[in-house]
């Protein structure tokens, strides 16, 4: 079985096209292929994100031409910084654009995928590690609070250059997680950004910190699998993607 995944990504993003194939490559009996369209973006600022979002319709057309089975709008902060509940509007707009062209495609976003994954784990009180400048990080916190989550604690690494975000060492991410107040926390989002690498330390963080650990990448993979009615049972990527923790 072959499933084609369309990715709409910032032009400077290199991580989602690395981590998502690594995760989904462990699904037995399914060959995934990945087809990206890029939106120009270098600085993770409100102005840079707005200019990037304006390129969405072109990117949708391009990935739609590849006959994909699912499309993932893979920039979490571009959606969360725009307005509360924005993932629902963006996913609906992309779906309408594709259906107008005659395509029947599952439409997802990193922002919506994270919200749904947290809900499916039953998490209510959460903690976050993000690469963003503080004003953007505060918008992510407000967005998730609006979705019904209590944000117990969070850290922003304050890296504005998106290319540099993709080079943040895993140990720096883990150190930020260790610095959080995790008392009473149901789940930790180790990387609330598909560009900040964290897949290599998700399992390590779960073992050390003793709670479920998600990332934008693992939540994106989870959303893809659920949308395509494929089994969720992947080793080495955290409890979110293990069969014994996935809701029926």
Q: Number of C-alpha atoms within 13 angstroms, CB side, residue 10? A: 30
Angle between helices 110-121 and 216-227 (to 10 degrees): 80
Known binding residue 194? Answer is yes
Q: Cβ neighbours of residue 119 under 8 Å, at least 6 residues apart?
A: none
Say if residue 146 carries a ligand binding annotation: no
Q: According to the annotation, is 195 in a ligand binding site?
A: yes
Q: Which of 107, 185, 193, 219 is catalytic?
A: 193
The residue annotated as part of the active site, out of 75, 78, 80, 205, is 75
- The single-letter DSSP state of residue 5 is E
Q: Which of 188, 199, 209, 205 is nearest to 235 (CA)?
A: 199
Q: Consult the annotation and say whether 76 binds a ligand.
A: yes
Angle at 59 between CA 53 and CA 62, to 5 degrees: 175
Helix, strand, coil % over all residues of the chain, rounded to 5: 45, 20, 35
State both tokens at 230: 């494929």
Do the annotations mark residue 228 as ligand-binding?
A: no
75 catalytic? Reply is: yes
Q: Is 73 annotated as a binding residue?
A: no
The span from the CA of 102 to the CA of 155, in Å, is 43
Annotated binding residue 230 = no
Catalytic annotation present for 167: no
60 is in an annotated binding site: no
Known binding residues for substrate are 13, 75-77, 132, 162, 194-195
Binding-site positions: 13, 75-77, 132, 162, 194-195
- Catalytic positions, written as ranges: 75, 193
């Amino acid at each position: 079985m072959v499933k084609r995944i369309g990715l709409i990504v910032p032009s400077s993003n290199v991580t989602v096209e690395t981590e998502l194939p690594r995760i989904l490559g462990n699904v037995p009996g399914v060959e995934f292929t990945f087809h990206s369209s890029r939106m120009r973006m270098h600085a993770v600022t409100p102005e840079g994100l707005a200019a990037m979002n304006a390129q969405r319709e072109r990117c949708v057309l391009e990935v739609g031409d590849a006959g994909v089975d699912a499309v993932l709008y893979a920039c979490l902060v571009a959606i969360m910084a725009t307005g509360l509940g924005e993932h629902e509007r963006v996913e609906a707009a992309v779906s309408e654009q594709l259906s107008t062209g005659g395509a029947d495609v599952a439409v997802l976003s990193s922002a919506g995928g994270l919200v749904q994954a947290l809900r499916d784990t039953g998490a209510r009180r959460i903690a976050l590690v993000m690469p963003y400048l503080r004003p953007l990080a505060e918008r992510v916190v407000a967005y998730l609070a609006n979705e019904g989550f209590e944000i117990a604690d969070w850290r922003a690494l304050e890296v504005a250059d998106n290319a540099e975000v993709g080079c943040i060492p895993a140990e720096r991410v883990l150190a930020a997680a260790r610095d959080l107040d995790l008392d009473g926390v149901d789940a930790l989002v180790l990387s609330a950004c598909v560009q900040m690498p964290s897949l290599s330390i998700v399992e390590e963080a779960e073992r050390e910190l003793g709670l479920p650990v998600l990332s934008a990448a693992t939540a994106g993979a989870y959303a893809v699998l659920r949308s395509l009615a494929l089994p969720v049972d992947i080793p080495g990527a955290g409890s979110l993607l293990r069969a014994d923790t996935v809701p029926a």
